[in-house]
Structure formats: C-alpha cells, structure tokens
Amino acid sequence: MGALTDYLRAVGAASVVEVLERTDGGSPLGAEPPVFDGVEAKHVDPTIVLAMLISAIRQVKWRVDLVEETTVWPASPVPGPDGPQDEDDPWMTGPWVSELDPLVRDTLAAVRDDELPAIVARWVQAEELHGAHADDMQPVAEGIVLLARRAREADEQLYCWMSL
C-alpha cells in the first residue's frame, strides 16, 4: 500500500498547522469550508517520486536531497534512534506535512506546457513508477506544475500532506 499525498499552497506553515489541528491531522484539502488550493497526487511522495519529476525536469540524476523539505506536522519531536514506540504515534503512519524548498516550487513553475509531455515520458521511466503510463501521469504532473505556478505568483510555499 502506498502513501496518500496531497500537495497544497499556503502563505506559511502556521496556517497549515492551524487547519491540521482543526481537522485532527486530516488532509488540509478536505477542510470544510475549503481553505487551500491543492491537488491530490496519490503515491507521489516528495522524497522519491516528486524528486524523480524534479530530476526529469532538470535532466539530472536523482539524489536524496533533490527535494528539500521541512516537517511542519506533527509538531512533536522526531522519535529517537529506536523509532516510534506505539502504533498510535503519528511518526509511524502519519499524517505528516512538510514544506517544500522554494527551489522545488520554482523548478516546477518554470516548466513550459510544451515541455511537459517529454518530461513526463522521462519521469515514468523511473523504477519507482514501474507500470505507470505517461497518459496516466500527465494529469498528475500538470496539476502539480499548475499548483506551483499559482504558488509562485501568490508568493506562497508548497506543502505536502502525506499519510499511510
């Protein structure tokens, strides 16, 4: 089973955390009334799969630090070397929310519409997307790129909500 992931834009982490507190950590995209502009991108985690998209855009080899992120939820400290101690610990199954580095937003926002099909064709070659087809992943990539453009235009940051 893969992760549920939603990408959203917000002016700052405090506004995201406020909604998470109100929704008990549920996706900020599901808040009523809707608060954030975002896209559902099931299984597109920031560290691996989104980083593979960034890799395809920049035409560089994937590396672990390609998408830098800062955890904003849960607010509790990261567990020690022995990891989470009980299954109710949010560090075990989430949800987690991270703020993505502005360079990620700007890289995505700079993609031209006519470039996207070739980028998606490179992206779906990633081992982590084995079995994915460009036709299926094109709308996901478009949604993330358009969200990044709106975030950059509004001087907002991109966030990723993720849960197992």
Give which of 67, 73, 76, 97 is closest to 6, Cα–Cα: 97
Q: Indicate left, alpha or beta for 83 from its phi (over 0: left) and psi (-120 to 50: alpha).
A: left
Taking the C-alpha atoms of residue 149 and residue 41, their distance in angstroms, rounded to an integer, is 16
Sequential pLDDT tens for the chain (164 residues): 467 999 999 999 999 999 999 888 889 898 787 889 999 998 899 999 999 999 999 999 999 899 999 999 987 655 555 555 555 555 567 799 999 999 999 999 999 999 999 999 999 998 888 889 999 999 999 999 999 999 999 999 999 999 98
Q: Does domain 4-76+90-163 have CATH number 3.40.1760?
A: yes
Q: Per-domain residue ranges for the chain?
A: 4-76+90-163
Tokens of 93: 């199954």
Cβ atoms of 44 and 144 closer than 8 Å: yes
